[in-house]
Chain A
Amino acid sequence: MNGSVCLSCQAIERYLGEEESRVHALRGVSLDLEPGSIHAVVGPSGCGKSTLLYILGLLDPPDAGRVSIESEAMSHLGDDELARKRNQLIGFIFQFHFLMEDFSAQENVMIPMRRLGRLSDEAMRERAAVLLGAVGLGDKLRRPSRHLSGGEQQRVAIARALANDPRVILADEPTGNLDTANSERAFELLQNIVQQGQKALLLATHNPVIAEACDWIHEMQDGRIIASHPRGQRSLGA
C-alpha cells in the first residue's frame, strides 16, 4: 500500500460493554486507505466490522491506537472538532440508509451542507440536485424520503454521503438491504465516485460478489484483521 494515505489507523483497541459483558471488540487493528481505492472488510457478524467503521468515522473513540485522516492525528481532538472533521472529511452510508423521514430527498442531501455552511441555500439546492441526478433520482428531488423505495433511499444516502465532497466514504453494509440488481447498481455508483473523485472507500459487507470487486479485502475475525488481499488474490491468500 504505497502512495499518499487518506485515512490510516494503527493498533486500534476497543472494548465494548461493562464488567461481565465486556467484550474485546477490536484487537490491534491497523489499516491504510489510499485515494481512489476501495477496501472491503468482511467477516462474520460480531467480528468488529461496524465497530471499526465507527472508530474510523470518528463516531466512537478507540481505547488504544491512533486514527489519522490526511496525516492529521485525530486522537487529541475534542468532540466539536471531531464533529467538524466528520462533516468535512467523512461520508457515512448505513445499511438501513437512515434518511431523515421529515425531509425530502433533496433536503436530506442538503443537511450536511447546511452544517458546513459554505454554500448559499440556492447553491446547496443545486448541488443536491446534481448529486441526486448522478444517482438517478433527478426526478424525485422533492419526494419525501419515506415515499421512496429501499433502493432509492439507499441512493439518496449515497448522495448525502457525498454532499460535502468528503475524502473518505465509510459504508456499513451499503447493499445489505437491497436486492441483487440494486446492490450492483449502488456499488457501481460508488466505484465511479471513488475513482473519479480520488476518494477512499471502506465498506463492511457480507456480500462476496461486492467484496471481490473491491481493490482490497480485509478479513476480520474476533476483532482482528487476519488477512488482507488485493483484488483477485483472495483465493490464493486464503
Chain B
Amino acid sequence: MSPPLYIALRFLSHRKRALLLSLSGVVFGVGIFICTQAQTQGFARYFIDSTIGSNGALVIRSRFRPRYKALMVAAKSSNTNAAHRLYFEGITDANQIMRVSRRFSNVVSCSPVLRGQLSARAGFENATVDLFGIDPVLHSQTTDLLHELIAGSFDDFRNNTSSVIVGSRLAEELGVDIGDTVQLLSPGGEYWRFTVAAIARAGVGSIDSTRIYSHARVAQTLLQKPFGASMIIYKLRDPDRAPALANHFENLFQHVSTSWQEREESTLQLFLMLRVSAAITVSLIILLAGFGIFNVLTMSVLAKVKEIAILRSMGYRRIDISAIFLWQGALVAAAGSVLGCLLGALMTWGVGHIPIRIRGLLYANHFLVTWDWRHYFWATVLAIVAVFIASYVPARRAAELAPVVTLRGSSV
C-alpha cells in the first residue's frame, strides 16, 4: 500500500461523520441516476420491442421510379428524394423481393402484408380499422403475433379464412370476444362477416386500438386491390443496423424502405428527451454530492494543516500530499459507486414492482424498467469525474501549503 493511500485511509476512518456525509451524497446520486435511467429507458425499450414485434424492424412499401422531368430542371428547393420520384402503390413482385432479401445475413424472415383502412361494425358499435392481410405462417415467423395473443387460438385463425385477429383495445371498443362476428365494410359498400378467432395485445396503443388481421387473399378481395402485398415487413438479427439495410434495399428494389428508427422517429425523440431530461436532473444531484465532497475535503485540508506540515518536514513531496486527498476522494467515489449501484439496482427492482395502469401510448400494469449495465457504468463514471473534480482543488491546495508557515505559527 502506498504511503498516501495508507494515510488517506486513516484520515477517512477518523472522520466518520464527514465520510458518511460524502458517501451518502455519492450513493444517492448514483442510485437515483441508475433508477431514473432504468425507468425512462424501460418505457422506451418496451415501446421499441412492441413496435418491432408488431410492425417489423424494416418495411418495404410503394414502388418508385425517377421523375425524369425533375432531373432536367434542378430546382434549388426540390432536393429531396420525393421530389425526384414517382410513387406507385403496392409491391410489384413481392415474392422475388423476398427471395432476394432473404439472402442478406441480417434478415431473419419477412412477411408480405396487404394493408387497408376499413370500417368495422359489431352490434351497434362502429370503428375505423387498419386491416392487415397476412400469410399466417410467414407473419408468425416475422412478428411477435403469436406471443401477443391474449385470447383465442392462432390455429383457429390459420385454419379459417373467414376469421380475424382483433387488437385488444379495438375488441373492447367493438365489444367483441372470441367467436363473435365482426363485419368489415368493403369499398364496394358490402359488409363481409368474420369470426373473431383471437385477440392480440401488442402493448402499443395505436396498434391495439385499430389493428385487425385477416388472411391475405381474403383481404385482397375485400379491399379490391390489384396487387397481393402493399408492404413487406422484416425481422432482423440486428435491428440497430436497420437504417443501413433500408437504404440498401431502397436502392436495390426501387421501393420505399423504412427502418423502425425512421418510422418511430418522433416517439423515440420523445423518449430520448425524457431520458436526457432525467439524466440532467440526476447529474445535478451527483454534482451536488461532488460539491459536498469538495466542502468536506476543503474542511479536511484546513483541519489537517498541521499534519500536512509534519508530513512535508518528514520528506513527503507535494505530490504525496495531493495524493492523500485525491485518494480520499477516490475511496469515497469507489465505495459510493459500489453502494450506489446496489441501491440503484434495489430501487430499480422496487420501482419495477409498483403497480400502475397505463392505457395510452403503451399498455402496462406496472412501471416498466430496463436492466442495462451501461446505466451502472455511466453513473459510476459520472460519480468518479464529479468526485475527482471536487477533490482536485482541495488536494492541490493542500500540496501548495507552505509547511514553514504552519510550523512558524507554532514556534517563534
Contact = CB atoms under 8 A, between A and B. Distances in A.
* A-B complex is real: yes
B312 A111 contact: no
A50 B408 contact: yes
B372 interface: no
B404 A115 contact: no
Interface stretch (B107-115, B317-325, B329-337, B389-397): B317-325
A187 interface: no
A111 B11 CA distance: 14
Interface string B305-348: 01101111111111110000000000000000000000000000
Given A45-B412, A88-B315, A102-B11, A94 B3 contact: no
B410 A96 contact: yes
A87 to B, nearest CB: 2
Nearest to A163: B314
Interface in A68-124: 79-80, 83-88, 90, 92, 94-96, 98-103, 107, 111-112, 114-117
A50 B406 CA distance: 12
A111 B10 CA distance: 12
B76 interface: no
Nearest to B307: A100
Interface string B285-321: 0000000000000000000001101111111111110
Nearest to A117: B3
Interface in B238-285: none
A59 interface: yes
A102 B14 contact: yes
A46 B412 CA distance: 6
Nearest to B314: A112
Contacts of B310: 98-100
A117 B317 CA distance: 14
B315 A83 contact: yes
A119 to B, nearest CB: 12
A86 B408 contact: no
B3 A115 contact: yes
B306 to A, nearest CB: 6
A51 B404 CA distance: 9
B408 A98 contact: no
A72 to B, nearest CB: 16
Interface in A51-79: 51, 54, 57, 59-60, 79
A160 B310 CA distance: 11
A162 to B, nearest CB: 12
A111 B234 CA distance: 69
Contacts of A34: none
Interface in B6-50: 6-7, 10-11, 13-14
Contacts, number: 85
Interface residues of A, number: 39
Given A50-B408, A111-B311, A98 B306 contact: yes
A8 B320 CA distance: 28
A115 B410 contact: no
A107 B408 CA distance: 25
Interface in A3-60: 45-46, 50-51, 54, 57, 59-60
A176 B411 CA distance: 10
B352 interface: no
Nearest to A176: B411
A115 B313 contact: no
A112 B315 CA distance: 7
B319 A80 contact: yes
A173 B411 contact: yes
Interface in A155-185: 160, 164, 172-173, 176
A5 to B, nearest CB: 22
Contacts of A107: 10
Contacts of A87: 314-316
Contacts of A95: 410-411
Contacts of A83: 312, 315-318
Contact of A98 (B11, B309, B316): B309
A42 to B, nearest CB: 14
Interface in B372-412: 403-404, 407-408, 410-412
Nearest to A80: B317
B376 to A, nearest CB: 34
A96 B320 CA distance: 24
Closest 4 CB pairs of A and B: A87-B315, A114-B3, A102-B14, A86-B315
27 contacts: A45-B412, A50-B407, A50-B408, A50-B412, A51-B408, A54-B404, A54-B407, A59-B312, A83-B317, A84-B315, A86-B313, A90-B315, A92-B313, A94-B410, A96-B410, A96-B411, A98-B309, A100-B307, A101-B307, A102-B11, A107-B10, A111-B3, A114-B3, A114-B6, A115-B314, A172-B407, A176-B411
Given A112-B314, A172-B407, 13 more contacts: A46-B412, A79-B318, A84-B315, A84-B317, A90-B315, A94-B313, A94-B411, A98-B407, A112-B315, A114-B3, A116-B315, A160-B314, A176-B411
Interface of A: 45-46, 50-51, 54, 57, 59-60, 79-80, 83-88, 90, 92, 94-96, 98-103, 107, 111-112, 114-117, 160, 164, 172-173, 176
